[in-house]
Amino acid sequence: MAREVGVGVIGMGWMGQVHSRSYRTMQDRFWDSEIQPRLVICADEVESRAQQCSSRFGFAEYTTDWQKVIDHPGVEVVNVTSPNFLHKRMATAAAEAGKHVFCEKPVGQNPQETAQIAAVAERAGVLSCVGFNYRWAPLVQYARQLVRDGRLGSLTHYRGRFFAGYASNPEGVLSWRFDRDLAGLGSLGDLMSHVIDMAHSLAGPIAKVVGNRHTFIDERPLATPGEGTHFSVGSGGPKGPVTNEDYVGALVQFANGAQGSFEVDRILSGSKCQMAFEVHGTLGALRWDFERMNELMLHVPGAGDGEVGQDGFCRIASGPQHPHHERFAPGPAVGLGYDDLKAIEAFQFLQSIHKGEQGEPSLGDALEVARVQAAIIRSWNSGGWEGVSDIP
């Protein structure tokens, strides 16, 4: 019989709901896992939302006091899905209480907070997970294996981007994501954290960077607390200032000698959720785009082992031969979606708890991302290349 692990979720906005749903989906898709989640308690400062989510997802209890999630004797895992300015207080309190921590990216308001959270979790000896869910697309995992197996040869070029037009409408509300006091970083935290983590996963550590930033829309309609998401639109009311960056670009040099570029933008028109990468090596290349997440473009002209090489990219459709696809669909080209990646993420985390071994991506991986972000911030100030180094 599978061992049950009690789960508490703090923050029942969109992401808290996604996390709660992912555990329910995991119970179905990974029904034969040796460890299964039990939704114990959820917390939100808006009581009506906490109560609704408790009923909707099947939590045994709800509260408006997040500390009660951490103190609950039935909770073994704490999911922190609150706004960034609360990550440090909540994640460190959970770790110090001996609870395993699943914190959504970017893990705090800035690189210094990420480093502090990671240090507390390491001292406490708890296991952790961070919401870099794009890693778990079956074809991304397949791409990673191709790179690690040397199928692309020595890597020469890497390009990563995340163009998410959720803020392209100037009437999009001033949610906490646009407020430096609440979110800390803007696109560098919200979007670039995914791009950097994916680059680390596929191409390895980054040696140095040079970057720039820009804010295109400097004020937005005020949001109504407890209502809507960062996709919500408002008009006709008072406005407030946007105090962090819409756009970030960077040139990067990897430790293995590969050259690359990163680019993120939350106000770009056209692209809706283009989390994408291109990897080129001396023997081949590949590219992937979340907007077509069940397709991988692959170029391996020197294919062997019975494979036919090709002159140019060919399309690979996600199928049962790729990691975890068969848990959701028995046939090829029967696509997975965003929530499915979160279910795989929840499964991977609980498996690490079952094995008693730290899995990926962890707070340690988030710290590696934060080191690159800190170098980009230094580059904004110096105007030149900055090496990736430890965060004081």
CATH code at position 98: 3.40.50.720
- 292 and 317 part of one domain: yes
117 and 188 co-located in one domain: no
Give the predicted TM-score (pTM) of the model.
Answer: 0.95
**Positive or negative CA dihedral for 162, 360, 118, 133?**
positive
Task: Confirm whether 387 is domain-assigned.
Answer: no
pLDDT of residue 282: 96
Q: What is the pLDDT of residue 102?
A: 98
Mean per-residue pLDDT, 148-167: 97
Domain boundary among the residues 111, 133, 155 is at 133
**Last residue in a domain, options 78, 99, 133:** 133
Q: Do 204 and 146 belong to one domain?
A: yes
pLDDT for the residue 306 = 47
**For residue 100, what are the β-bridge partners?**
77
Final residue before a domain boundary, out of 100, 133, 166: 133
Same-domain status, 51 and 17: yes
pLDDT at 175 over 60: yes
How far apart are the C-alpha atoms of 90 and 249, rounded to whole Å? Answer: 31
- Answer yes or no: do 354 and 210 share one domain: yes
Residue with tokens 């696109």: 187
How far is the CA of 234 from the CAs of 82, 180, 201, in angstroms? Answer: 22, 20, 38
Residues 314 and 186 in one domain: yes
> 248-270, pLDDT tens digit by residue?
999 999 999 999 999 999 999 99
Q: What is the pLDDT of residue 307?
A: 53
Worst-scoring range by mean pLDDT, 9-18, 170-179, 378-387?
170-179
Residue 311's CATH number: 3.30.360.10
Domain co-membership, 97 together with 151:
no
Is residue 190 in some structural domain?
yes
Question: Rounded to the nearest 5°, which phi and psi values hold at 178?
Answer: -100, 5
Q: Rounded distance, CA 206 to CA 369, Å?
A: 10
Number of structural domains (the chain) is 2
Domain holding 224, by residue range, is 135-362+369-380
What's the start-to-end Cα distance of the chain, in Å? Answer: 46
More confident residue, 306 or 329: 329
Q: Does one domain contain both 192 and 309?
A: yes
pLDDT for 228 equals 62
Task: For Cα atoms 39, 42, 47, give the angle at the middle one, nearest 5 degrees.
Answer: 145
Tell me the average pLDDT of the chain.
95
Q: Do 273 and 310 sit in the same domain of this protein?
A: yes
The pair of three-digit structure tokens given for residue 185, joined into one six-digit string: 């970083």
